[in-house]
Amino acid sequence: MKLVIASNNKGKIREYKQLLEPLGYEVISQSEAGIDLNVEETGSTFAENSALKARAAYKLCGCAVLADDSGLEIDALNGEPGVYSARYGGLDSDAERTALVLDRLKNVPNDKRGANFTCTIHFIKTNGEEIAVEGKVFGKIGYEPVGENGFGYDPIFMYGDKSFAQVDPETKNSVSHRANALKKLIGALKSDN
Protein backbone atom coordinates (compact mmCIF):
# COMPACT_ATOMS: atom_id res chain seq x y z
CA MET A 1 0.00 0.00 0.00
CA LYS A 2 1.38 3.40 -1.00
CA LEU A 3 2.13 5.91 1.78
CA VAL A 4 3.03 9.51 0.94
CA ILE A 5 5.11 11.40 3.49
CA ALA A 6 4.12 15.08 3.36
CA SER A 7 7.78 16.12 3.30
CA ASN A 8 10.82 16.09 1.05
CA ASN A 9 13.31 15.85 3.96
CA LYS A 10 15.53 12.94 2.89
CA GLY A 11 16.53 11.95 6.44
CA LYS A 12 12.92 11.92 7.59
CA ILE A 13 11.81 9.89 4.55
CA ARG A 14 14.61 7.34 5.13
CA GLU A 15 13.60 6.95 8.79
CA TYR A 16 9.94 6.47 7.88
CA LYS A 17 10.87 3.90 5.20
CA GLN A 18 12.86 1.82 7.70
CA LEU A 19 10.05 1.77 10.23
CA LEU A 20 6.91 1.57 8.07
CA GLU A 21 7.87 -0.58 5.07
CA PRO A 22 7.92 -3.75 7.26
CA LEU A 23 4.21 -3.06 7.89
CA GLY A 24 3.52 -3.31 4.16
CA TYR A 25 3.68 0.36 3.16
CA GLU A 26 5.51 1.61 0.07
CA VAL A 27 6.86 4.88 1.52
CA ILE A 28 7.48 7.78 -0.89
CA SER A 29 8.07 11.51 -0.51
CA GLN A 30 5.50 14.05 -1.68
CA SER A 31 7.71 15.01 -4.63
CA GLU A 32 8.00 11.34 -5.68
CA ALA A 33 4.18 11.29 -5.62
CA GLY A 34 4.09 14.34 -7.90
CA ILE A 35 2.74 16.58 -5.14
CA ASP A 36 3.99 20.15 -4.86
CA LEU A 37 2.78 21.18 -1.44
CA ASN A 38 3.76 24.02 0.86
CA VAL A 39 1.11 24.28 3.56
CA GLU A 40 1.07 27.41 5.70
CA GLU A 41 1.37 26.29 9.31
CA THR A 42 -1.36 28.44 10.85
CA GLY A 43 -2.10 26.12 13.78
CA SER A 44 -1.27 27.07 17.35
CA THR A 45 -0.15 23.52 18.21
CA PHE A 46 2.05 20.85 16.62
CA ALA A 47 -1.06 18.63 16.30
CA GLU A 48 -2.97 21.29 14.36
CA ASN A 49 -0.06 21.90 11.97
CA SER A 50 0.57 18.21 11.27
CA ALA A 51 -3.17 17.72 10.60
CA LEU A 52 -3.21 20.68 8.17
CA LYS A 53 -0.30 19.19 6.20
CA ALA A 54 -1.69 15.63 6.19
CA ARG A 55 -5.18 16.69 5.08
CA ALA A 56 -3.80 18.87 2.28
CA ALA A 57 -1.66 15.99 0.98
CA TYR A 58 -4.55 13.51 1.27
CA LYS A 59 -6.78 15.75 -0.87
CA LEU A 60 -4.13 15.70 -3.61
CA CYS A 61 -3.23 12.02 -3.62
CA GLY A 62 -6.20 10.13 -2.12
CA CYS A 63 -3.88 7.50 -0.65
CA ALA A 64 -2.42 6.98 2.83
CA VAL A 65 -0.43 10.02 3.99
CA LEU A 66 1.70 10.96 6.96
CA ALA A 67 2.72 14.44 8.11
CA ASP A 68 4.53 15.57 11.21
CA ASP A 69 5.30 18.78 13.02
CA SER A 70 7.87 19.15 15.74
CA GLY A 71 9.85 21.63 17.76
CA LEU A 72 11.66 22.55 20.93
CA GLU A 73 9.83 23.65 24.09
CA ILE A 74 11.90 25.30 26.85
CA ASP A 75 10.50 25.50 30.37
CA ALA A 76 12.19 28.81 31.31
CA LEU A 77 10.81 30.42 28.12
CA ASN A 78 7.23 29.29 28.79
CA GLY A 79 7.38 26.68 26.05
CA GLU A 80 9.11 28.80 23.41
CA PRO A 81 10.11 28.44 20.65
CA GLY A 82 7.41 25.74 20.34
CA VAL A 83 5.51 25.75 17.03
CA TYR A 84 7.74 28.62 15.90
CA SER A 85 10.96 26.57 16.30
CA ALA A 86 11.84 26.73 12.59
CA ARG A 87 11.24 30.49 12.39
CA TYR A 88 12.02 31.58 15.95
CA GLY A 89 12.77 35.28 16.31
CA GLY A 90 12.20 35.74 12.58
CA LEU A 91 15.73 34.42 12.04
CA ASP A 92 16.82 32.46 8.97
CA SER A 93 19.48 30.01 10.15
CA ASP A 94 19.74 27.28 12.78
CA ALA A 95 22.85 28.99 14.16
CA GLU A 96 21.05 32.32 14.62
CA ARG A 97 18.04 30.71 16.30
CA THR A 98 20.30 28.65 18.58
CA ALA A 99 22.23 31.80 19.54
CA LEU A 100 18.95 33.58 20.35
CA VAL A 101 17.89 30.74 22.68
CA LEU A 102 21.26 30.79 24.44
CA ASP A 103 21.08 34.58 24.81
CA ARG A 104 17.59 34.38 26.33
CA LEU A 105 18.82 31.75 28.80
CA LYS A 106 22.16 33.39 29.68
CA ASN A 107 21.16 34.09 33.33
CA VAL A 108 19.08 30.94 33.83
CA PRO A 109 20.64 28.43 36.28
CA ASN A 110 21.25 24.81 35.29
CA ASP A 111 18.33 23.44 37.31
CA LYS A 112 15.87 25.71 35.42
CA ARG A 113 17.04 24.83 31.88
CA GLY A 114 14.63 21.91 31.30
CA ALA A 115 13.37 21.39 27.77
CA ASN A 116 11.77 18.85 25.51
CA PHE A 117 11.44 18.15 21.83
CA THR A 118 7.88 17.29 20.78
CA CYS A 119 6.74 15.61 17.56
CA THR A 120 3.18 15.01 16.45
CA ILE A 121 2.39 12.67 13.58
CA HIS A 122 -0.89 12.82 11.70
CA PHE A 123 -1.60 9.71 9.64
CA ILE A 124 -4.53 9.37 7.25
CA LYS A 125 -5.35 5.90 5.96
CA THR A 126 -6.45 5.33 2.37
CA ASN A 127 -10.05 5.14 3.60
CA GLY A 128 -9.78 8.59 5.22
CA GLU A 129 -9.52 7.39 8.84
CA GLU A 130 -7.14 9.63 10.81
CA ILE A 131 -4.68 8.75 13.58
CA ALA A 132 -2.81 11.39 15.60
CA VAL A 133 0.06 10.57 17.97
CA GLU A 134 2.64 12.56 19.91
CA GLY A 135 6.15 11.76 21.13
CA LYS A 136 8.50 13.67 23.40
CA VAL A 137 12.08 13.48 24.60
CA PHE A 138 13.22 15.38 27.69
CA GLY A 139 16.56 17.01 28.41
CA LYS A 140 17.95 20.47 29.14
CA ILE A 141 19.52 23.33 27.27
CA GLY A 142 23.31 23.52 27.43
CA TYR A 143 25.44 26.66 27.55
CA GLU A 144 27.00 26.47 24.09
CA PRO A 145 26.56 24.45 20.90
CA VAL A 146 28.51 21.17 20.94
CA GLY A 147 28.73 18.30 18.45
CA GLU A 148 28.80 17.90 14.70
CA ASN A 149 25.79 15.65 14.07
CA GLY A 150 22.15 16.59 13.96
CA PHE A 151 20.52 19.84 12.93
CA GLY A 152 18.39 22.64 14.33
CA TYR A 153 18.65 22.88 18.11
CA ASP A 154 20.42 19.50 18.49
CA PRO A 155 23.81 21.11 19.43
CA ILE A 156 22.29 22.77 22.55
CA PHE A 157 19.77 20.07 23.57
CA MET A 158 21.50 17.99 26.24
CA TYR A 159 20.38 14.38 26.56
CA GLY A 160 22.24 13.18 29.60
CA ASP A 161 25.82 14.41 29.36
CA LYS A 162 25.83 14.76 25.55
CA SER A 163 24.03 17.03 23.14
CA PHE A 164 21.76 15.52 20.49
CA ALA A 165 24.49 16.59 18.03
CA GLN A 166 27.01 14.38 19.88
CA VAL A 167 25.02 11.15 20.29
CA ASP A 168 25.29 8.58 17.51
CA PRO A 169 22.40 8.48 15.01
CA GLU A 170 21.24 5.02 16.16
CA THR A 171 20.84 6.23 19.75
CA LYS A 172 19.12 9.44 18.71
CA ASN A 173 16.75 7.57 16.38
CA SER A 174 15.76 5.20 19.19
CA VAL A 175 15.04 7.87 21.86
CA SER A 176 14.03 11.00 19.91
CA HIS A 177 10.63 12.66 19.90
CA ARG A 178 10.05 11.41 16.33
CA ALA A 179 11.02 7.85 17.29
CA ASN A 180 8.65 7.93 20.28
CA ALA A 181 5.77 9.23 18.13
CA LEU A 182 6.49 6.60 15.47
CA LYS A 183 6.43 3.83 18.08
CA LYS A 184 2.93 4.94 19.06
CA LEU A 185 1.82 5.13 15.41
CA ILE A 186 3.21 1.66 14.64
CA GLY A 187 1.38 0.32 17.72
CA ALA A 188 -1.87 1.87 16.51
CA LEU A 189 -1.41 0.53 12.97
CA LYS A 190 -0.56 -2.98 14.18
CA SER A 191 -3.64 -3.07 16.43
CA ASP A 192 -5.79 -2.25 13.39
CA ASN A 193 -4.43 -5.19 11.39
State how far the Cα of 20 lies from the Cα of 189, in Å rounded to an integer: 10
Say if residue 86's pLDDT is above 70: yes
- Residue 14 DSSP symbol: H
| Mean pLDDT (the chain, rounded) | 92
Buried b (16+ CB within 10 A) or exposed e, 15-33: bbbebbeeeebebbbbeeb
The listed CATH number (2.160.10.10, 3.40.50.2300, 3.40.309.10, 3.90.950.10) that belongs to domain 2-192: 3.90.950.10
What is the per-residue pLDDT across 102-126, written as a single tens digit (0 to 9) for each? 999 999 999 999 999 999 999 999 9
Residue-range domain boundaries for the chain = 2-192
pLDDT of residue 193 exceeding 70? no
In percent, the amount of the chain with pLDDT more than 70 equals: 99
Mean pLDDT of the region 83-99 = 93
Res. 184 pLDDT band, cuts 50 70 90: very high
Tens-digit pLDDT profile for residues 14-47: 878 887 888 888 999 999 999 988 888 899 999 9
CA distances from 73 to 9, 42, 57, 140 (A): 22, 18, 27, 10
Question: Residue 95: how many CB atoms within 10 A of its CB?
Answer: 11
Strand order across the beta sheet in which 26-29 lies: 26-29, 2-5, 64-74, 114-124, 130-141, 157-159, 162-163
Q: What is the percent of the chain with per-residue pLDDT over 90, rounded to a whole number? A: 71
What local confidence, expressed as pLDDT, does residue 23 receive? 82
List % helix, strand, coil for the chain (3-state, nearest 5). 40, 25, 35
Q: Which of 154, 183, 181 lies closest to 167, judged by CA? A: 154
Just list the catalytic residues. Answer: 69
